[in-house]
Structure 1
């Protein structure tokens, strides 16, 4: 299968151009494309790639036996495999699956000081070990978070060029509705992306076959792999509890009130018994948390309710794959999202926001008379963002904008199945524009 272009490609090229570059740690969940992307980068930019996988090649865990200096490590690597070449200035050392050998991070300081070789470390579930890795390599590394493909990368994979994406952004900035043909085309592409998600192997399979054949099996195998990772790496925690939390998320999102509730996992469950499980899943990159604001005002950080949040699956395609078989048939055959419609669109929006670098915040008044899905901010304004599975009016958003009680809020943004429109300081976009929100916010004059 051909290589799928990733935004990480650009980041890596820019990292290589920096003459004072630090060793790089690429974090990300299993199968988001870390290894393939690093190999492609190495092939195009170095004479030698020295790749070591600490899961499949555990013998290399001995390379620190004589200390952490670059020379000692290279000597022991070449003792294990004399065919590996180390040309100064032309060699990339790629340490993969370092969650199985976090001690290697101590060497990053010495590789930086040596300066002759570039180093990239990577691994799945790195967040679980990351506090330890960060503490032993502080000041001598650059961190990069890699996610599964976003909708823009999916459009690239489908053959769409940059001009198409620029035109989409121009529609948003000018408030010009899409034509019926454009709206239909992009809506169908968006639905394909929602069903597939952004895992490269699944997208590649779909592009190669031109159908969804085999995609559900690949997704469910990945879900099984994630659960096996939980069993393997969840040290000191109740693994059964972590699995129960992870498996409860689709049903939790299908509720009208999407606030995460421990009682929905098992009757009588308390937050103190399960909070560590939620944190573990978050650190592993399998879920994202959306914090509830105490009050809809700036600043966002420091204004959240403790232990009140929503939980989303990090890749919407995996959320789709975790639905029951009846829902699968309905979704794939009839494009009917059923009772999960709101949950899937909201999960997709959360995923798109995270991939653009936004934090996740929502608001829900105790009496449920005022609720808002998400909030973002400009330099001086708090902007509610609503994700609606229909084109109904947004009562809560209108109230937030018009009421003097919320002086930081003057505009709202809504994502729906409909077209672009502006009414009563509420700007409406189709779902397929979500990935462009940050670029829109940076260029739209009304938010300056």
Structure 2
């Protein structure tokens, strides 16, 4: 089963726009479907293709690149013969899959693109990790695009819900609530996305096995084991710290503030000691980061405070399997309880994580804001997220509060709006209820997050 992915249109733009003058690098986490989509693209858009999987560590192929890079006629002849594929000038593409496993092939892109005979697509996981690129020059002839797990729209496409998506978009644009039955259907779709997640294999299993959550969960646990094995391959100097953060993500997200308190991970720890840790987790796209912005304005990154960070799982389906052990999930039927709104404990953690996943998939870099009141001796303003790059009204920021329950206060958001009203375009509350306007705040159901 081949899932429809938005990245396909970006690959098409690259092919038609660059005409062989640049290679394309598709970066993303393990198991999100990079290899599948590029091979499908190659089949449909070219006369022939060669897929070289460098994860297989084929010494014969690696030797070709080492010996014949200065003799490209021989290199192409050997590759064509080895793979049994007839290469056609300007009508064939070579795919370098998991190219980080053989950095010399990535370095060779400079010469291969200059030759101009064929197109080149690279896929990579953990591509920017220092140990993978320290001995090569990153070619300027390479364009990078980032791929994420399936977003909410892609998930809905896979379940045949295109019409419901179009209806949601129309209601968001008109600032109108959905018809009650449609709202319930959309919330059910959202909850399925939260539970299954956006990793392709679990979703395919979900569809092909009549929505069997136990089979889905088993596949997600296999992916988590793969991630853990990746972590164990890190250089020893900060492997333990990465593992500690990875293991504690569910615990961190179940707290009220959700931000990382470094001394709680290890006594005497400080943020600077964990910089490599968060670099690794975010660069591998296992996690999504959200930094404190202490003076929120349009240029949010200018005022970011990196000693305060919230760390979310890159995929919420994986977070669910990570948060509960296997027996606990099956015995308590957590999946069924969440679908039927019977599980309150830890649902807020999953709910906020999936909102982050949807915002990140839309290209947003995330920030949060807190204000400590000396008079009250506590934080009197807490804003879950601030985004700034989605607006038709330029030079404005957009605060977002996430509420997993149906009853909540908007006092914090009102204080923030009053304090920074000149900088704000529109304010949002994301909640489980239908769309409603409240004191100038747009309160949208969780499934509408993909519209932001």
Residue in 1 that maps onto 2:3: 4
The residue that corresponds to 2:104 in the other structure is: 103
User: Which SS does the other structure have where 1:258 is aligned?
Assistant: coil
What is the alpha-carbon distance in structure 2 between the residues aligned to residue 82 and residue 259 of structure 1? 50
Residue 147 (structure 2) aligns with: 146
Alpha-carbon offset, residue 178 of structure 1:
0.8
Query: 1:364-397: CA deviations, max 9, x gaps?
Result: 1233111000011231322211111123131111
Other structure's SS at 2:104 match: helix
The alpha-carbon deviation at position 410 of structure 1 amounts to: 5.6
Number of positions where the alignment pairs a residue of Structure 1 with one of Structure 2: 432
1:83–1:382: structure 2 CA closer, same or farther, 3 Å change rule? closer
Question: Is 1:431 aligned to 2:452, yes or no?
Answer: no
1:333 shift after superposition: 2.4
Q: CA separation of 1:17/1:78 partners in 2, compared to 1, >3 Å: closer, same or farther?
A: closer
Aligned match of 1:416: 431
Deviations 1:222-256 (A, max 9, x none): 00010101112x12533222111111111001001
2:130 and 2:45 map into 1 onto residues whose CA distance is: 30
> Is the deviation greater in 321-330 or in 309-318?
321-330
Q: Please identify, of 16-25 and 112-121, the stretch whose mean Cα deviation from structure 2 is larger.
A: 16-25
Give the 3-state SS of the residue equivalent to 1:166 in structure 2.
helix
Q: Is the 8 A contact 1:52 1:95 kept in 2?
A: yes
Match of 1:40 in 2: 40
The answer on whether the counterparts of 1:103 and 1:133 sit within 8 Å (CA) in structure 2 is no
Task: Provide TM-score, normalisation by structure 2.
Answer: 0.90
**2:274 aligns to what?**
274
Which of 395, 407, 413 does residue 411 from structure 2 map onto? 395
Aligned to 2:15: 16
**1:250–1:319 CA contact under 8 A, matched in 2:** yes
Residue 311 (structure 1) shift: 0.6
Contact 1:422 1:428 in 2 (8 A): yes
Q: What secondary structure sits across from 1:338 in the alignment?
A: coil
- The residue number in structure 2 matching 1:73 is 75
The alignment partner of 1:298 has SS state of coil
Q: Partner residue of 2:253?
A: 253
Distance 2:67 2:19 in 1: 27
Match of 1:357 in 2: 363
Q: Deviations over 1:183-225 (max 9, x none)?
A: 1111111101100100000000001112223011111110001
Q: Secondary structure at the match of 1:365?
A: strand
> Is the Cα–Cα contact under 8 Å of residues 150 and 198 in structure 2 kept in the other structure?
yes
> Contact 2:95–2:121 at 8 Å: present in 1 too?
yes
Following TM superposition, by how much is the alpha carbon of 1:109 offset from its aligned partner in structure 2, in angstroms?
1.5
Aligned to 2:422: 407
Query: 5+ unaligned residues in a row in structure 2: which ranges?
Result: 373-377
C-alpha displacement at 1:138, in angstroms? 3.2
Asked whether the equivalents of residues 272 and 307 of structure 2 are also in contact (C-alpha less than 8 Å), the reply is no
2:94 equivalent in structure 1 = 93
Alignment gaps of 5+ in structure 1? 438-448
Counterparts in 2 of 1:236-247, with a 5 A limit?
A: 237-247=237-247
Quote the RMSD (CA, aligned, Å).
2.1
TM-score relative to the length of structure 1:
0.91
For residue 177 of structure 1, what is the aligned residue in structure 2?
Answer: 177
* SS of 2:323 mapped into structure 1: coil
